[in-house]
Structure 1
């Protein structure tokens, strides 16, 4: 069931991104972006998918208590008294309105449709933030931070996905990149700040949290920000320069690559968000990550902390990291397939992660 929950959360984030990106781009005048062909069926499937995928974690809770109370009674209790259940009730309500909006809106009402669609999408994101880990620990800061975090990432990923896969031509790419660079930087800033607030609520000691699965997932998510920033700079600076010198240059592969990395971050977020957060007395033998144990078999108790000692393995992985970074740069200038560039990005993250793990000592 845990794997199903993880998959559902990845798809839920994808639905949010498709809707947020689509509605935002509909509000952008055509002379500031390439021509788009966004299938109405894609918007409809995304809107229908939100309550379905958001329900999977709720169903997991229902199945957990059903052996004691019975299935129907468990459904009733979870949907009426649990935060996750009542939040999903509102998710369903907002999604129904969004589905009806998509079905019945005429093509002549595009601007109003985009405004209302964006409002309803952000409303459904708020209902999901309401039932988050951060929201449970601190309802005010946690819910607002998670909401801003999800909105910022959904806009960033959504615009990249729609532009990368549904643009019809290369016209106005320079104008698009000019304003989107500002949007991407704003989303990055909002994501970073809201992430710091959520970490303050959820995580007791960022580096020490690396000993448990939630902390390691958080670390991997942050490490994937490095190739993301690299390709964001590529799209914001180098690609803009190449288009200004050669109007026929096709930036689509690099837009798609940036969206791939963001999707990888979505997947990691979905995986570690299903783990208990490192809050309170979380350092028990059962809580220690098997992956952390693979690198460090030192005894760990509730008072253990993480330190760093540079060794020969650290140096080896440092040079491997530099090599992979060079290959990422080379893959851009040699116009390598985007899957190869994405592979180099994943290997870069794996190398930095391993370098940190082999450098750790438990005190």
Structure 2
């Protein structure tokens, strides 16, 4: 069931991104973006699946208590008394209104449709943030931080995915970059600030949290920010330069790579968000991450902390990460496929991760 919950959360974030990105781009005048074709069925499917994917964690809790109370009684209790159930009730209500809006929208009312759709989608993101771990621990700060985090990344990912996969051409690309670069920077700043607030709420010691699965997920998520920033710079500066010299240059593949990396970060978020956050006295033998145990299988207790010691393996993985970074840069200049570029990015992150793990010592 845990795997199903993880998959559902990743797809939930994808649906939010598609909806947010579509509504924002529909509001942007055509002279400031490429021509796009957003299928109405894509928006409908995304809206329909929101309450379905959001229900999976509710079902998980229901099945956990069902052996004692029965399924329907357990479901009734979860939906009426648990925060995650009450939040889902509002998700279902908001999604129903959004589905009707998309189904009944007319092409002549594009602006009003996009504004109402965006407002409803952000409202639905708020219901998901309401049911998060952070909101349970700190109702006000946790809710605001989680909402800002999800909203900022949904805007960033959504615009990239819709532009990357629904564009009919790359007309007006420089005009598109002129405003999107500012939006991306704003989303990055909002993500960093809200992420820092979330860590303050949920993590008692960032580095020491690497010993548990939640902390491992945080580390991987943060490492993927390195290639993300690189591709953001490529799209912000290198693509502008290439287009100024060659109007036939196609920038869409690099937008797609940036979008895929962002969605990878979203997926990692879905994975570790289902783990218990490292709050309080969390270091027990059962709590230690199996992944962390691959590198450190000694005795770890509540008094254990993480230190660092540079060794030969550290140097080896450092140079390996430099090699993969060079291959990422080369893939840009050689116009390699997005699969190759993404593969090099994953290998680069893996090398950095392994470098950190072999440098870690338990004290």
TM-score category by the smaller chain? over 0.9
| Separation in 2, partners of 1:301, 1:87 | 36
Hey, what does 2:295 align to over in structure 1? 295
Paired with 1:253 and 1:90, the residues of 2 have a C-alpha distance of 38
Q: Which runs of 4+ in 1 moved over 6 A?
A: none
Work out the CA distance in 1 between the residues paired with 2:125 and 2:76: 23
- The answer as to 2:32 corresponding to 1:32 is yes
2:361 aligned counterpart, secondary structure: strand
* Deviation at residue 267 of structure 1 after TM alignment: 1.1
Determine the structure 1 residue equivalent to 2:73.
Answer: 73
Q: Secondary structure at the match of 1:295?
A: coil
Aligned position for 1:285: 285
What SS does the corresponding residue of 1:66 show, helix, strand or coil?
Answer: helix
Provide the aligned length of Structure 1 versus Structure 2.
363
Distance 2:336 2:26 in 1: 32
| Alpha-carbon shift at residue 280 of structure 1 (Å) | 0.8
Q: Distance in 2 between matches of 1:175 and 1:244?
A: 12
Whether the 8 Å contact between 1:98 and 1:120 is mirrored in structure 2 is yes
Could you say what secondary structure the match of 2:175 adopts?
helix
Which residues of 2 match residues 176-191 of structure 1 at below 5 A? 176-191=176-191
Q: In the aligned structure 2, how far is the partner of 1:297 from the partner of 1:35?
A: 55
Counterpart of 1:136 in structure 2 is 136
- Partner-residue secondary structure (3-state), 1:284: coil
Tell which deviates more after alignment, 55-64 or 298-307: 298-307
| Corresponding position of 1:148 | 148
Aligned to 1:219: 219
- Scaled by the length of structure 2, the TM-score of the pair is 0.99
TM-score of the superposed pair, with normalisation by structure 1 = 0.99
CA contact (8 A) 1:170 1:248 kept: no
1:64 aligned residue: 64
Which residue number in structure 1 is paired with residue 193 of structure 2? 193
Corresponding position of 1:316:
316
Q: Are 1:331 and 2:342 an aligned pair?
A: no
Match of 2:358 in 1: 358
Match of 2:344 in 1: 344
1:102 aligns with 2:91: no
Tell me the equivalent position of 1:269: 269
Task: Measure, in 2, the Cα distance between the counterparts of 1:226 and 1:261.
Answer: 10
CA distance in 1 between partners of 2:75 and 2:19 (Å): 29
**How far does residue 333 in structure 1 lie from its aligned partner after superposition?**
0.3
The Cα offsets for residues 206-238 of structure 1, whole Å up to 9 and x where unpaired, read as: 000000010000000000000000000000000
What are the Cα deviations for residues 313-336 of structure 1, in whole angstroms up to 9, with x where unaligned? 000000001111001001100111
RMSD: 0.5
Counterpart secondary structure, 1:361 = strand
Aligned to 1:169: 169
Alpha-carbon shift at residue 298 of structure 1 (Å): 2.3
1-structure distance, mates of 2:278, 2:70: 32
